Amino acid sequence: MNLLPRPYHVPLATPFWSGKTFRAIVRCLLSGQVIVGPDLAELKSWITQELDVQDAILCGSGSLALELALRSCDVKSGDEVVVPAFCCTSIISPILAVGAYPLLADVGDDLNLTAATVEPALSKKTRAIIVPHLFGNPAEIDSIIDLTRGRDIQVIDDAAQALGASLDGGKLGTFGDAGILSFGNEKVCSGLGGGVFVPRHQEVLERGAEFALAAADFSAALRRLSSTLIWHRWRRWSVPLHEALSDSAATDPQSLPAQYRKESMSNLNAAVASSLMKSLQDNLAARRLRVRAYQGLLGNERLILVPHRAGSACLTQVIRIIPKYPGHDPASDLIASLRGAGFEVQGSYMPIHLLAPYRQLAVRSFPRAEKMWMNLIELPCEPDVTLEHVEQIASVVKQTIRCS
Ligand SMILES: Cc1ncc(COP(=O)(O)O)c(C=O)c1O
């Protein structure tokens, strides 16, 4: 057992927090404004300004925001909701919570839903389509909205991974009938958690305002603060130490997402999120610069960079490695090499229908998601990752691909 673990140069998705964020936390703790306080109104005003919308409803998580969006769009028991087969599983629980059935659709080459992949999934029972913008990259939500014209189908713009991104001049989160944002882990603005429901019509807003959420829980807010500090903000040291002591820090990809709490956002979470909104433009500019750097350094016939469209929030840069022969798994070799070199990277999502708890959703095959997922790796783009790190990562990638 190694008791002196080497810290990561670049741990996975470290939240981009400044002194302002830590000062906001201390202020809330010392003033006793952990659950209610003025930061909730301040965050709401940052969001409505950033998205240029009339109203936004703050809540405990992006998952709860999705549930509110579905309920406000009148999605009920027995309805079908189309979602991508390639996505995080957090989008499934809100659909089940309203009694509806998640119907999977394949993704396009950019790993997002497209009108062509959504169309075969639509039926008379389809009541909504959730369109996430994975890795910050805008999906073709306009053409998906066009597909629903004349049908009683609501489109939910899931910008959980794409805060600050835009498409043809419109901010993501403001397309379709309702939108959502998240301040959870591994997001553009990773805070202490929290979600935002963005209603797009008066009717949807009125229905959303009807759902009375429980007040945030004091001890849960403090637990979330300590776990975010230990496992995310100070991950550089905590994960290597945990790995040294327990032999593994891996989480089981087959496990169900943790149940989300059905409560309002706490003032503490809003204070952290507001501090992150203040640096949003610097955050986005830094991420876009890192994506351009990867694009300049990487790419050949065996290594494809999944492109980011104009306006992307560039959450991560996904690369796809083409195996040399069936059964060849160069992505696992590369993840191990990068981790060995101090860069904690991960593969991307396993398609939802291939995960044990969701096998019953495999009503048809999803060729693109099934073909691509095993060969994907997410490279880090956080502002704390220096351009020197990007060069080192690119050099490990090139060398490993050459040898594997
Ligand atoms: C696309 C997408 N939608 C919704 C969510 C749910 O957000 P939260 O983690 O804040 O519940 C996530 C979380 O990872 C997500 O990636």
Give residue 404 CA to ligand 1 midpoint distance, Å: 34
Rounded distance between C-alpha atoms, residue 244 and residue 1, angstroms: 6
pLDDT at position 283 over 80: yes
Quick: pLDDT tens for 104-115.
Answer: 999 999 999 999
Q: What is the DSSP string of 99-159?
A: T-EEEEE---TTSS--HHHHGGG--TTEEEEEEE-GGGPPP-HHHHHHHTTTSS-EEEEE-
Lowest mean pLDDT among 2-6, 91-95, 232-236, 339-343: 2-6
- Could you tell me the CATH number of the domain that includes residue 373? 3.90.1150.10
Say if CB 105 and CB 140 are below 8 A apart: no
- Which of 111, 161, 232, 378 for mutating ligand 1's site (highest number of atoms within 8 Å of CB)? 161
Residue 257 in domain: no
Query: Running DSSP on this structure, what letter comes out for residue 10?
Result: B
Quick: pLDDT tens for 167-192.
Answer: 999 999 999 999 999 999 999 999 99
- Which of 63, 86, 183, 192 for mutating ligand 1's site (highest number of atoms within 8 Å of CB)? 63
With CA atoms as reference, report the closest residue to 134 among 182, 74, 205, 94: 182
pTM of the model: 0.94
Quick: pLDDT tens for 216-229.
Answer: 999 999 999 999 99
The answer for residues whose C-beta is within 8 angstroms of residue 236's C-beta and 6 or more apart is 7, 8, 11, 14
- The encoded tokens of residue 24 equal 């906001």
Burial class (CB in 10 A: 0-12, 13-18, 19+), 339: middle
Rounded distance between C-alpha atoms, residue 393 and residue 323, angstroms: 20
Residue 209 in domain: no
- Give residue 251's pLDDT band: very low, low, confident or very high (50, 70, 90): low
Residue 377: give the domain boundaries.
280-403
Beta bridge partners of 303: 300, 321
Q: Domains in the chain: how many in total?
A: 1
Residue 135 in domain: no
Q: What per-residue confidence (pLDDT) applies to 4?
A: 61
Quick: pLDDT tens for 366-392.
Answer: 999 999 999 999 999 999 999 999 999
Residue 161 in domain: no
Report, as an integer, the average pLDDT of 71-78.
95
Residue 386 in domain: yes
- Give residue 247's pLDDT band: very low, low, confident or very high (50, 70, 90): low
- Which of 58, 96, 130, 182 for mutating ligand 1's site (highest number of atoms within 8 Å of CB)? 182
Secondary structure (3-state) at 321: strand
Select the more confidently predicted residue: 205 or 30: 30
**Helix and strand numbers, DSSP H then E, in the chain:** 14, 13
Q: What per-residue confidence (pLDDT) applies to 123?
A: 96
Residue 369 in domain: yes
With CA atoms as reference, report the closest residue to 404 among 318, 308, 302, 310: 302
Name the strands in the sheet holding 57-59, side by side, starting at the edge strand that comes first in the sequence. Answer: 57-59, 195-199, 178-182, 154-158, 126-132, 80-84, 101-105
Q: What per-residue confidence (pLDDT) applies to 2?
A: 54
Q: What per-residue confidence (pLDDT) applies to 252?
A: 61
Dihedral sign, CA of 99, 100, 104, 109?
Answer: negative
Mean pLDDT across the chain? 93
- Give residue 397's pLDDT band: very low, low, confident or very high (50, 70, 90): very high
- Give residue 253's pLDDT band: very low, low, confident or very high (50, 70, 90): low
Give residue 239 CA to ligand 1 midpoint distance, Å: 23
Lowest mean pLDDT among 12-16, 143-147, 177-181: 12-16
Report, as an integer, the average pLDDT of 28-49.
97
- Give residue 246's pLDDT band: very low, low, confident or very high (50, 70, 90): confident
Q: What per-residue confidence (pLDDT) applies to 355?
A: 95
With CA atoms as reference, report the closest residue to 26 among 230, 235, 229: 229
Residue list, ligand 1 pocket, CB within 6 Å? 61-63, 66, 87-88, 90-91, 132, 158, 160-161, 182, 184, 193, 195, 260
> Percent of the chain at pLDDT above 70?
96
Residue 306 in domain: yes
* Nearest residue by C-alpha to atom 7 in ligand 1: 62
Residue 393 in domain: yes
